[in-house]
Amino acid sequence: ALYDAVSVRLAALDQDQEVKEASISTMGVLVASLGDALGDKLSSALPVLLDRLRNEITRLTAVRAFETIAASPLDLPLADTIPPLLTELCSYLRKTSRGLRLASLLALGEIARHHAAALGAEEMKAIFVELAPIIADRDLQLASQALTLCLKLVEADAAVAGPLVAEHAMGPLVVLLASPLLQGAAIARME
């Protein structure tokens, strides 16, 4: 009954922004908490969430919902959802919205941690290509999250991610380490 009520709100296009965001967040929590019990309903909820991810108005909320879903301890069947999700999240790393970039980094981190099997060499390369410009002293919090994501990808598959780190992340990291903005705790975190 709860799923049905949220599903109706999630599918509706003519409602207030707060209701849209609440339905997206609620569906994310429902899928993350009860996804294994949803059965066929799960396969209908994920494409709607992907549609909300592609909508500029609901994008940030949908990224956070997918972060929640990716972090779920349940063994959710996300194999069909992860490739288009990665494409969208990687493209958001180029956007000017800092909040969207940070949320995308966090969502990618949860995918790397819990769904590493869905990340092939091409997917990892796409992620590293987008991470390289973020590893800079323009925004140290984003740089820190980008480096954390690099570490998660290496932990997921060192054979694939290791050469990608050398090719895409090592140069920006060396430049970042030489930055006068790094002091004390920031340098200690990078060790």
What's 66-128 look like in SS3?
Answer: HHHHHCCCCCCCCCCCHHHHHHHHHHHCCCCCHHHHHHHHHHHHHHHHHCHHHCCHHHHHHHH
Task: Give the per-residue pLDDT at 188.
Answer: 67
> 128 with 86: CB under 8 angstroms?
no
Cβ neighbours of residue 185 closer than 8 Å, sequence gap 6 or more: none
Identity of the residue numbered 127:
I
Task: Give the per-residue pLDDT at 186.
Answer: 59
Task: Give the per-residue pLDDT at 190.
Answer: 61
Structure tokens, 3: 């799923």
> 164 with 149: CB under 8 angstroms?
no
Task: Give the per-residue pLDDT at 115.
Answer: 92
Task: Give the per-residue pLDDT at 145.
Answer: 92
Task: Return the half-sphere exposure (C-beta side, CA atoms, 13 A cut-off) of residue 176.
Answer: 25
With tokens 């949803």, the residue in question is 38
pTM for the full predicted model:
0.90
Residues of the chain with pLDDT under 70: 184-191
Long-range pairs, 138-142, Cβ under 8 A, ≥24? 139/98, 140/181, 140/182, 140/186, 141/102, 142/98, 142/101, 142/102, 142/105
> 36 with 76: CB under 8 angstroms?
yes
Identity of the residue numbered 141:
Q
Task: Give the per-residue pLDDT at 179.
Answer: 85
Q: Give the whole-angstrom CA distance, residue 142 versus residue 71.
A: 20
